[in-house]
Structure 1
Amino acid sequence: MTASDPSGQLAEQLLRLTRRLHRAQKRYLDPVGITPAQSRLLRTVAQYEEPPRMADLAQRLEVVPRAVTTLVDALEANGAVRRVPDPTNRRVIRIELTEAGRATLRELREARRAAVEDILAPLSAQQRDTLGSLLTELMRGPGHHL
């Protein structure tokens, strides 16, 4: 990788930063006692106004329903979620956050904030604003520019 390959250098930097973020997040998540996949499912359940169905979660997370079942089983064993029957169709099961699940979400938010703070510590407020703007632009992806 040389200075004559700026795209390759950026790609490498982004990959290294992603790995650093994952390591930092894992360091902060481990004490909470939850895996990144369980964390993602818990955050997704919290995004719904009404408790979602398993199929809703599988679709939103872009995983097979069996993967959601495994994650829900683990989170239910931890007391973070519970399965509840749909009030209009008893055959449909919905996934509801418990108070313990909401407390875990608060811990997760703090853990993620601490992990990101570790990574961003060397940057000034202005540099953070610039980085945020650049990341927002990148997340829009191709074809979203006016």
Structure 2
Amino acid sequence: MHAPDDAAEQIAALLDGIVRRQRRASREGLGDTVTHGQFRVLRTLDRAERPLRLSELAAQLGIVPRSATSVVDDLESAGLLARQPDPNDRRATLVALTPAGTQILTTLRQNRREAMATELTRLTPTEQSTLIHLLQRLADD
């Protein structure tokens, strides 16, 4: 039997490997078009369901506004999001997904889902349910 620290390290390493495979799979067919950090920005804007100020975006991502500005600059250059004036504050700028950004996000999510579905075929339906249950327990705050 493994010591608790050994189990913790083994689980952490296995989860890291799964996450890396998922990230790679989600970008399949897109090359290096979108980094993981850029994917997080696109996903955050999509979930917000409205344009966000850069400061709001940074806060939701847990990063400093300067870092958010750099990522937004790159995504705007790629045509995946656009800045627009805030109608409630002339000094502020909002960031919103473009149709191309929405399409890339859809493709990334579809690739990720398909890759996970392929991995899950190795488990029985009962094992899949158990995995979901255990991961939910670990994910609960």
Query: Which TM-score applies when normalising by structure 2?
Result: 0.88
Aligned counterpart in structure 2 of residue 28 of structure 1, from 26, 29, 33: 26
Structure with a larger share of its residues in strand:
2
Residue-pair matches, total: 139
Alignment-mate amino acid for residue 14 of structure 1: A
Aligned with 2:84: secondary structure? strand
Q: For the Cα contact (< 8 Å) 1:26–1:36, is it kept in 2? A: no
> What is the 5 A alignment of 1:1-146?
3-32=1-30, 33-141=33-141
Identity %: 34
- Structure 1 Cα separation of the partners of residues 115 and 99 of structure 2: 24
Q: For the Cα contact (< 8 Å) 1:25–1:111, is it kept in 2? A: no
Aligned with 2:96: secondary structure? strand
- Structure 2 Cα separation of the partners of residues 24 and 62 of structure 1: 22
Task: Pick closer, same or farther for the CA change 1:24–1:88 going to 2, 3 Å.
Answer: closer
Cα RMSD after superposing both structures: 1.7
Q: For the Cα contact (< 8 Å) 2:42–2:101, is it kept in 1? A: yes
Q: Which runs of 5+ in 1 are unaligned?
A: 142-146
How far does residue 105 in structure 1 lie from its aligned partner after superposition?
Answer: 1.1
Alignment-mate amino acid for residue 78 of structure 1: A
How far does residue 6 in structure 1 lie from its aligned partner after superposition?
Answer: 4.7
Q: Which runs of 5+ in 2 are unaligned?
A: none
Q: For the Cα contact (< 8 Å) 1:28–1:115, is it kept in 2? A: yes
How far does residue 7 in structure 1 lie from its aligned partner after superposition?
Answer: 4.8
- Structure 2 Cα separation of the partners of residues 87 and 47 of structure 1: 21
- Structure 1 Cα separation of the partners of residues 20 and 118 of structure 2: 12
Q: Which runs of 4+ in 1 moved over 6 A?
A: none
Q: Give deviations 1:66-91, integer Å, cap 9, x for gaps.
A: 11111111111111100000011121
Query: Which TM-score applies when normalising by structure 1?
Result: 0.85
